[in-house]
Amino acid sequence: MNRAKLHESIINNSQMTFARSGGNGGQNVNKVNTKVHLVVPVTSLGGLTDAEVIRLRSKLAAIINKEDCIFLDVDDERYQERNREIALSRLENRILQALVIPKKRIKTKPTRASKERKLKLKKIRSEIKKKRGKIW
């Protein structure tokens, strides 16, 4: 997925609504709509293959509603413009992280030296425990 294409797709297809938010700002909080509520339909994200859309839906299931839209709320800053930027970049990063396919782990076997070390430590431990017994 091309990051520039994704960014453009999010900007073109997103809907933002604004609300009053708590937090910093003093009396400004009570009169200015700084909280950003971002909504983007999953189907409108351009350039995604069917497999990527399925992966996105499974990874971001917590923020996707029944209408198949991604929701995100941001009220970190005192300024609406800054919260808009944060919301867009946060959504973009979450989508890109969801699309990353982790590398498969290659199982490895213990080396001969590590097996020998393990046996040597077992023998030492065994001798220590034998010496704890009663002497006849």
Vertex 34, ends 31 and 35: CA angle to 5°?
120
pLDDT at 70: 92
| % pLDDT > 90, the chain | 46
pLDDT at 114: 97
Give this prediction's pTM.
0.70
Domain range enclosing 37: 3-99
Q: Do the domain assignments include residue 126?
A: no
Residue 41 located in a structural domain: yes
Q: How many domains, in total, are found in the chain?
A: 1
Question: Which parts of the chain register pLDDT below 70?
Answer: 1, 23-26, 28-29, 136
Give the pLDDT of residue 25.
65
User: Cα 40–91–22 angle (5° rounding)?
Assistant: 95
- CATH number for position 59: 3.30.160.20
